[in-house]
Structures are given as structure tokens and as C-alpha cells.
Structure 1
């Protein structure tokens, strides 16, 4: 389960950011997790609840928003959200010259600190 290592890195990043901002604790952590990021949201939440004990995030709430995959076509230059799990063809022109430009990452969007 790589969610444990993700949470470990997240907590380290939160502690660094809190120190830089002279915060005593973190109240809320907001993440954006793409549907193709490879992160299991339920396992991430569970790991967070387990690992946050004793950290600056001990009393924090984890908020997660999930992002859909967004494709950009190099042929017609259109950006679209595919309706099916086919990420190899542009839904607009049918070209196979597409790349995933959103939905394959995990982003730390916001920290609410005190």
C-alpha cells in the first residue's frame, strides 16, 4: 500500500509548511486526487487517520476532492473530459494523439493553520 508512504510525505510537507508559517497546528488539509492518480482514496483516508496521531496534524480534518481525467488533443487542440474509460482517442476528432493533462496527479491545494 503506497498510501502509507504518500501520507508520510504529506505529513512531512505539512509540518515544513507549518514551521515556515510559524503555525502551531493544522486544522484542515485539502487535497485534489485525480481518478487516474493510482491513489485509493479510502486507504489514504484510513492511513491519514492512523499516521496523524502525535503530529502537527493530529486534530486536522482531511478534505478530498476528486478530479476527472482531462484529455488534450495534439491534433485538434481541444480539451475534453472523456465519457468512457478510453483515454487513447480524442472524443472530438477521433485522433490518437492525445495526452492526459489532468486527473493523474495528487495535489495539496490548501492548508488551514493556526
Structure 2
């Protein structure tokens, strides 16, 4: 259920920046989600369709980009990418003394907007 509050935050951020840029409408929103994040794309989309209605973001398309998880072995200093998101020992030395380098991210990367064009003189 935390996807609702996350989606509300995405909407607030997108609207804030869209207004600041003089937008009449937000058309696309690009979101980055780390492979280890517990955020579920479908849930965000579900809530988005409900809460964005009647805002600058009505009808905006959400684009989700998943960032792979990378781990760093503290024992041998090897950095590797998790294939399926399952925690595995270091492929170099089999140690489980690992640190997450990336994969927990969740952020709004960019928005695309429309603006009224100023009247052109003939």
C-alpha cells in the first residue's frame, strides 16, 4: 500500500516542476526504480490513473526504467551485478560480506510537458 504515498509524491513533484516551467499539461513521466526496490510498477500505475485525474498530469504516461542491482564484495573488492535480484555469494571468492552499490533507487528522472506557444506575429 506504500505505492499510494509514493505515487502522491510523484504527482506533487511533477506538478511543482511543470508549473514552474509554465506547462499546460504533463505528457510523460520517467521513473527509475532499482531492482531491489519494493516498488511495484503496476501498483504505481493503478494509483496514478486515479489520483492524477483533474490535474496537470491527467493522461500523462508513466515510463518505468529498472536499474540493475550491483553488489560490492568487502572481502575481495569485486563488484558484480545480480542477475535475478536474488542475493548470491560473491562469484569471485564466495563471501557473503557484501555491500549494495545500486539497485535500491527510486526517483522521478524527468518529465515532458506541453506549453502554450506565444502568438506568432505574421
Give distance in 1, aligned partners of 2:42 and 2:82: 24
After TM superposition, the structure 1 stretch with the greater mean CA deviation from structure 2, 3-12 or 64-73, is 64-73
Structure 1 stretches of at least 4 aligned residues deviating more than 4 Å after TM superposition:
none
The aligned length equals: 113
Contact map agreement 1:4 1:44 (CA 8 A) in 2: yes
Q: Which residue of 1 aligns with 2:8?
A: 8
> In 2 relative to 1, CA 46–77 (structure 1 residues): closer, same or farther, beyond 3 Å?
same
- Structure 1: 5+ residue runs without aligned partners? none
- Structure 2: 5+ residue runs without aligned partners? 115-122
Q: CA deviation at 1:72?
A: 1.6
User: After the TM superposition, which residues 35-114 of structure 1 pair with which residues of structure 2 at under 5 Å, given as runs?
Assistant: 35-83=35-83, 85-87=86-88, 89-114=89-114
1:10-61 alpha-carbon deviations (Å, 9 max, x no partner): 1000111112222222110011112221111111111111111011110211
1:71-95 alpha-carbon deviations (Å, 9 max, x no partner): 12233332211235125x3222222
